[in-house]
Every structure is written in C-alpha cells, then in structure tokens.
Amino acid sequence: MSTKLKNTVHLSESAKVDSGSVQPFTRSQKVYVQGTRPDIRVPMREISLDVTPTDFGGEINAPVVVYDTSGPYTDPNVIIDVRKGLGDVRSPWIESRGDTERLPGLSSHFGQQRLSDAELTALRFAHVKNPRRAKAGANVTQMHYARQGIITAEMEYVAIRENMKLEEARASGLLDQQHAGHSFGASVPKIITPEFVREEIARGRAIIPANINHTELEPMIIGRNFLVKINGNIGNSALGSSIEEEVAKLTWGIRWGSDTVMDLSTGKHIHETREWIIRNSPVPIGTVPIYQALEKVGGAAEDLTWELFRDTLIEQAEQGVDYFTIHAGVLLRYVPLTAKRVTGIVSRGGSIMAKWCLAHHKENFTYTHFDEICEIMKAYDVSFSLGDGLRPGSIADANDAAQFGELETLGELTKIAWKHDVQTMIEGPGHVPMQLIKENMDKQLECCDEAPFYTLGPLTTDIAPGYDHITSGIGAAMIGWFGCAMLCYVTPKEHLGLPNKDDVKTGIITYKIAAHAADLAKGHPGAQIRDNALSKARFEFRWEDQFNLGLDPDTARSYHDETLPKDSAKVAHFCSMCGPKFCSMKITQEVREYAANQRIEAVDVDVAKGLAEQAQRFKQEGSQLYKKV
C-alpha cells in the first residue's frame, strides 16, 4: 500500500457535507407536491413575501414557487450524511415495472479490480450496491416505455415539476401580466401534463436522463418545449482536487441551480470520485467515458481499444451515470477539414478520437460499434449526449464544413439510437458570432429531427478572457430562445484555469439568467411570475423580498448593504443610487398620491402637475442629479 493512502483517514468515516450547501434560503421553505402515488413527492422552493406597506395599499402578497434543483440539501427536515449518500427515490418505481434484475456483482472488469483493491479502501464509498440491469431481451429506457404508451412515475414527476403550481399562481394573480413570446416553432401547452411528457419523449424531442442505478435521482426533463435547463461541470484533474472537494462542488452547484452536472474528472481515482458524486446527487450526472478510458492506457490515445471502451461504458452505467458524451461523429474524412482552422480541434474528446483515427487510419470505433453501444445504453437507460468533437474553438471557425459535416453524422446516429429506443440529445458549439447562432439551431433541428440540443454557450466573441461567462451567456440566451434545450455553463476561468467555488456560482447564475431570459422570450407559461413579483416588490420598496426573489439573494443583499448597511435601510423608500429625494419610483408614488388627494381626474394633468412640482423642488435643492444620503 502506498504511504499516502496508508496514512489517509477513511473518507467513509471523515467526509462531511459542505456547510454552505445545506443552509435553507432566507424566507424560503421546501414544499412537496404529491402525485398519483404516495412516493411521488416533487420538491419545489416556496418564497414567502412581506405584506405590501400600507402606503401602497397594504395587500397580502402570495408566495412565489420556484424550480428547485438543490435536492434534500436545503430541507431542514432531512439529515444529510454524504458518507451514506442520499435517500432512495426511484427504486419502488423501477421494481414495480418488473423488467430489471439485480446482478450478483459488478460485471465490468475494471470495476471488479477497483472493488478488490485494498489500497483504495480509504477512498471508497462504503455503501456500494450490486447494480441493476435490464432482464434479457428487455428495454428499460423512458423512450421505450413512452412508445409503448406507458406513463412512468418519472414522467408524472417531471410534469408536476415543470408546472411549479402554475394554476395556483394564476389564481393568486401572480400571472396577470405576461408578454407573448416568439417560440420559433416550439409548441408549449398552457399546462404540462404527464401525457404531453410521454408524447415528447416518444417523439424524441425530450429526454429524462435517469439511469436505473441512479435511484437517488429527482427526475428532470430536457427538451425545447420545456423550461431551458443548464449544466454545470465539475471534476478533478492531474493538477489536483480531492473527492471531498468534488462532492462539495456538486452540492454547491445544485444549490444555485445546476439542473445536471457533468463529472469531467481526468485525474486519479476517477472511479471512486464518480461513485461518491452519484450517490450524493439528486440531479442527473453525465460523463465523457473516453476520458477515463484514456487514463487507463496512460494517456496514449493510439492505445485505446473498443474492448476497453466497452468495459468503461458498462463500469459507468453500473455506477449510475445518466448520460454519456460520446464523440461518434468524429469521422476520418472530417479530420482534414480542420487543418486550416484558426484553432483546429478544441474538444478533448474530439482530439482523442481524431488522433486514434489517424494513428490507425481506421474509422472511429465508437462509430463502427454504435449499435453495440446502443445495446448497453438501453440495458441501463443511459442517455446519449452525442458529442460535437469538431465544434469551433473560435468565432473564425464557426459554421464551417467540419462542424456541419459532423452534425449531419450526429443526425444519422440519432436515428439509429431511436431505433433502439435510446434517449438522445445533441451537443453543440462553442464559439459562434451572434449573426450565425440561429443557423446553428436551424441546422440542428433539421439534421437531428428535433432531438434536444445542448450547447456550450456559444461564446459570441473571443476578446474577453476572464469574462467568458458573459461572452457565452449572450449566445446562450439567444440559442435558448431559438430552441436549445440545455445550456452548458461557462465560468470566468474558461480558457484560463480550474474554477473554484465562486467561479462555479458565477457561471451558474449567469446561465440561469440566460435560460430564464430564453423562457421569457419563448413565452413559456408562467415564466414571468418571478419577474412580476420582484418588480412589484421593487416598486413597493420591499427590500427583503427583492433580495429573496432574486437568483442570488446573498450578492444582492451584500451590494445593498455596502452603502446602506443599517437595518432601517431595508424598509427605506429609496436606494443608495438616487437617495431619498430623487428616487424615480418614490416620485411616481408621490405623483399618484397627489392625484388621489387632489381628486384630479385627468391623468395627464396629474402627471404634469406632479412633475412641475418636482421640477421646482429639484431646483430649490441645488439641481444636483445625485445626492449623498
């Protein structure tokens, strides 16, 4: 046994949850909506609001329900112990279908080796269960059930989750105003029903990534006719990061709104790290299996084999990975098309497969063995995320022959996957200037027959290292509006270094903004509820409600308190920007009050008189635009 591992305290004894991830949000509570069976309990976050001040009418404001990705970590009634993992959500649903069996042990050779290696005891998750697999001849994918006309518990769960108590919100007046959207052909009903979910999955327009071995999962759905989702990346590297740190990144990311998480680990102990992550994750976990396969051959891409890759797929499927990024569209004939690019091949997975193809002068083995991969996927219900290994790494390379050639191949592979009833989404760019983004979306819809699109940004300019969460957030909002189903976040450290916790949060909040802006632009039912509630709170100077309704209450509160730290400022009818004399919203309220007191009927006269008086007051107080408080 190595000295380092020998002296390591067992993680199964010492691991602790990140304290910042388990704090409930201020004035929020976890609520659960029950489905047709007692074990369908769908979590949401309900934000309580203050009563409108008497100056503004004194009305009671209904609580606002928001989508919640944080799992049980923000439920004070749940005891969190990362050493044991999260509670089981899905086993009763899976068992009731009667088409799976519990294996006597791991069937992956590598998985067996890791489990029998005594040196890894200190790092190993202590409660590894024998995996499930489909019975011989069975297909256990959500797409297969949907095409059989079956509404699964997972489908009902996501329907309830997408609605977020929409009917109650309408009844309480939270949705009295919502602008009509432009959906570019998306078709979203006023209420999401389980039958609608089933139809979308059967059609291939949506997926529920839900491996039968990830029973801790709170199901979610990805598709253009549903809320736009975001993904956050975590993972160790050869430069460091411990298992405990990666679990902390997971819990931190889902606190702020990451709908799925990809474990992109490339360092040591990838297998053990992934087990800890999955057992503690309420959201789908995705991976790029070729990364681990490459580690197994010491980083030499030319030494990769189909047999080793196949074993890696089974290893990860038996752990519970919900979706695999597989770069099966990187074909030998496309590689020369990248030669004149400014930035060549920037995808790690794409470059690995390109190097293998050139070293052997053979076609990509994930392409030639694609049907066999589908057989593995449908035995565990792992979804495809067909990787864009030839995505552009600079705006100069956007929409070129290599990128679109690969996309056409991904469309062909999608149809093969669908023949096996395997759920599939398509990965997209990358770096694309704004005027070329819609072409990307339209091309994907055409080539891939409306399979969900999942993009990294895209970054709309290459001139802002350190700010690529912004350059990409712009493109993400646009492509989300045009029909992209999930957006992969970019942090400020993109192209520069490994992100820390603050970077992860910044990236997630940026992408939550982009996704929400896209939902608003599409006219998604109920998308404007939170905006309406926050705007009303802002106009009524309900500061705490403004903070709590925001995507990041902590930052909003800290910015306010930098200049107005006293508690009295939390009820003040002004902010530090204009001060008490020149707050536009306060002036508007005074104009309204004046009109009411004077009983002036003509609105134009009301406003004119009020503004004239305010103009005189402005001059009398020195004609200064801003005043210190």
Residue 431 sits at φ, ψ, to 5 deg, of: -120, 110
3-state SS class at 18:
coil
Q: How far apart are CA 250 and CA 327, in angstroms?
A: 25
Q: What share of the chain is helix, strand, coil (3-state, %, to 5)?
A: 45, 10, 45
With a cut of 60, say whether residue 621 has pLDDT above it: yes
196-212 residue pLDDT tens:
999 999 999 999 999 99
Element (H, E) at 230: strand 229-234
Distances (CA, A) of 182 to 457, 519, 520, 574: 21, 10, 9, 36
Find the mean pLDDT for residues 410-432. 99
Q: At 46, list the tokens.
A: 């309900």
With a cut of 70, say whether residue 578 has pLDDT above it: no
Find the mean pLDDT for residues 437-442. 98
3-state SS class at 468:
helix
Greater confidence (588 vs 262) lies with 262
Residue 284 has what pLDDT? 99
Residue 3 has what pLDDT? 45
Find out whether 354 and 341 touch, Cβ atoms under 8 Å.
Answer: no
With a cut of 80, say whether residue 271 has pLDDT above it: yes
Neighbours of 245 (CB within 10 A): 16
Q: At 391, list the tokens.
A: 């995505």
Domain extent listing, the chain: 194-522, 573-629
Q: At 175, list the tokens.
A: 């949705």
Mean pLDDT, all residues of the chain: 92
Find the mean pLDDT for residues 338-354. 97
Sequence-ordered strand ranges (E) for 237-382: 260-263, 285-287, 323-326
Question: 343: left (phi > 0), else alpha (psi -120 to 50), else beta?
Answer: alpha
Domain 194-522 grouped into CATH 1.25.40.10: no
Q: At 128, list the tokens.
A: 């590894």
What pLDDT band is residue 619 in, cutting at 50, 70 and 90?
Answer: confident
Check: pTM over 0.85? Answer yes or no: yes
With a cut of 80, say whether residue 7 has pLDDT above it: no
Residue 13 has what pLDDT? 76
Find the mean pLDDT for residues 269-292. 97
Cis peptide leading into residue 430 (ω within 30°): yes
Q: How far apart are CA 546 and CA 250, in angstroms?
A: 27
308-333 residue pLDDT tens:
999 999 999 999 999 999 999 999 99
Q: List the beta bridge partners of residue 229.
A: 486
Residue 208 has what pLDDT? 99
Element (H, E) at 318: helix 306-319
Q: Of all residues in the chain, what percent carry a pLDDT higher than 70?
A: 90
Residue 564 has what pLDDT? 77
Find out whether 261 and 234 touch, Cβ atoms under 8 Å.
Answer: yes
With a cut of 70, say whether residue 600 has pLDDT above it: no
DSSP state of 571: G
* Burial environment of residue 355 by CB neighbours within 10 A (0 to 12, 13 to 18, 19 or more): middle
* Burial environment of residue 13 by CB neighbours within 10 A (0 to 12, 13 to 18, 19 or more): exposed
* Burial environment of residue 92 by CB neighbours within 10 A (0 to 12, 13 to 18, 19 or more): middle
* Range name among 409-413, 423-427, 604-608 with the lowest pLDDT average: 604-608
Residue 449 sits at φ, ψ, to 5 deg, of: 55, 45
Q: What is the CA radius of gyration of the chain?
A: 26
Find out whether 389 and 426 touch, Cβ atoms under 8 Å.
Answer: no
Residue 58 has what pLDDT? 83
Find the mean pLDDT for residues 5-28. 79
